[in-house]
Structure 1
Amino acid sequence: MQKLHLKETTRFLRGHKLRPQMQEFRLGIQKAQEAIENSVGSPSNVKLEIKGDLSFLNIGGERAKPIAAIQNLTKEKKQKTEKTPKSEKTTKQLLGEFYSDKKYLENLMKDEDLIEGTTKSGEKVKDIIQRCLSYLDTCTEFWHQEKPTSAQEMRQKFMQEKCTKRRNSALSSGFLLKSLDEIDREFMSGNAEGTLKKAEEVMKMVQRWSEKEVPNKKEVLGTLHSCIGNALVDLGNMDKALEHHQKDLELAKQCKLPGALSRALDNIGQVYVRNEEFAEAIQVWEKKLPLVCSDLEKTWLLHEIGLCYLKLDHHEEARDYGVRSVAAADGIADKKWQLNANVLVAQSELKLGNYESCVTHFERALSYAKLLEDDSAMDAIEKALHEAKQHLTP
């Protein structure tokens, strides 16, 4: 699923480049990057197999060079077995294509600088490589104890099954990545109808696949429901959009995926705002708050909830959320959101009759607008500030 999260990052980067004024894309980039880290998890929990890439290793503060594969061949607990004396020729015959990997790993163990390196979680590269070598030794011992013909047949059967799984996985993965890219292009070009058509076609295809072919089938379907929902929002069909975002939410709950859950709640809230159902939006977005990891997203979400309260004339709640948004924006020194949050507080204070505080926050917002050289924001704030000052007693 890391590939799909990388695709999400690409989507948001492309959107941010085309529409830099839209804060959603900047938030999306950060959320997708966090999803990549979440999907990879701690390297101590990752089972490594023979075909892959260890370029994520961090050795001496630098990235290690990609080395030969190692992903999922250590599922069984390591057991110490008594080795049977055997020649290199026998080992090579028993291991087949894995023999070259074994030699490569043995050579890596001679590289002192490499094996003393550690992953980001603190695990030594030496331990990872040794674990793989131990597994290969276990396989060799087992096959050596079988009759030569049985060992060869077993190895061939193992390789055939492995190749079949890889082929099916590669086909489905390739199809999904290509399809998501096409959906991206349609959506970013503003073609909501094209986005909807393509996403629905892909969904029908994925629904026919088994979970053996696509282990993360539910997660993929959730992503497609999200794409369809966003396209329907652009087409103005809010009821249908809400249905698809709610299906995304259900699948996220089933799969226990915090990132997908946060995405679905985000989109559902957006639909409610479009429908001017601000109380429902608040209810949904307040459920999303505990799932927020980044300070930027927190700043945005606090502001949006506060704005919904302002629309409902709940001015104290609007001010409180505005103050929290200001604090979050100050924490990351984001001038754009410092401007927005201060305007929200100023508007709330104006409605509450706290004119001095209102003027103070409008003046702060104006200073940020000047730093950003945002002429339209400066004009609007100056007018509001002038009106607020009229309420101050001489």
Structure 2
Amino acid sequence: MNLQDNEELDFNYQGLIFSANVGEGKHTALAELMSDDRIQKIDQLDVQVAELIKINHPTQKFDEDQLSEKVTEFYIDHPREEYGNWVYYHWRRQLIRILAKDDFIDLRTSRNRYKITEEEQDSLYTKKIGVIGLSVGQSVALSLAMERSFGELRIADFDTLELSNMNRIRTGLYSLGVKKVWVVAREIAEIDPFLKVVIYDKGITDENIDAFFGERGGIDLLVEECDSLPVKIQSRLKAKAMGIPVVMDTSDRGMMDIERFDLDSELPIFHGYLEKFGDESKLLENLADNYREILFAILHFEQLSERLKHSMSEIGKTITTWPQLASSVIMGGAMGAHYARMILLNQKVPSNRFYVDLDAIN
């Protein structure tokens, strides 16, 4: 059995990767999976090889017979029974044939070019991104994964998926009761089993915050999308102390918030909206006495949409928490991934808070 690049596998959310070229005496686990009639086997390797040939010969136009001949030639140099990988997803009970790692990555990112250059793509593979909160955070994480904009993704959320979450979190009913970090990590593994995802299924706590921010050289960027006000403040203070940029979307009026602590370690958190509450290092100590006021200051209450303002007045009366719509969450996820990529590639992105308000566009 060959677990290529998977050092600490967690079968709850990671695909199990087997080399097709297992070699004598190393094929027991794969053979057992292949012989299990309860497991669906999907082998579309020929289609992937054909597409790989096309992207490697962009000036040529192959007809069906020519392409078939090229696939046959490919297997002369790369015997089919030995080439590529099988990936087993236990939660789906599926065993899927894919290209060899380098070919898989080249093909999967081929339509990024030249929106993302080869040099930029290679640079992104060296980056570590942390995502706290997996509503908007799920959309950011999946967008980053689809673009392959990181080398390691750390995701933190303590919650499990509930039916009401599915108005904005893209998944199926099969995920009800599953930890949100598993839901997101599984989707990423199904897109690309070679991407590294590290989960924090207790959310961010006093016990794990140092590891989340600092392990293995530390994260290069934080995407903060959690509902917890203490964690919002605590994570900002940590990012500021470590010089880590922060990206946040509030899924209302397309508000995007960017804090470049990597460029200026003296920036006040939340662009100074909390300065009236005193020393920012004391905010957590004084939070209980000013919770509502601090929350409204962070959200810049006057700039919220009228519908969200009304919704917040109904919390605890007719609703239990503020609403979020899929259209806003998906847009926020796309914007978050876009600006995360720009920041990681050292493109010009200042500290700023701005709105992409679709309701205001006529």
TM-score above 0.5 = no
Q: What TM-score do the two structures reach when normalised by structure 2?
A: 0.26
- Tell which structure's C-alpha radius of gyration is larger: 1
Larger relative contact order (Cα-Cα within 8 Å, sequence gap ≥ 6): 2
Q: Which has the higher strand share?
A: 2
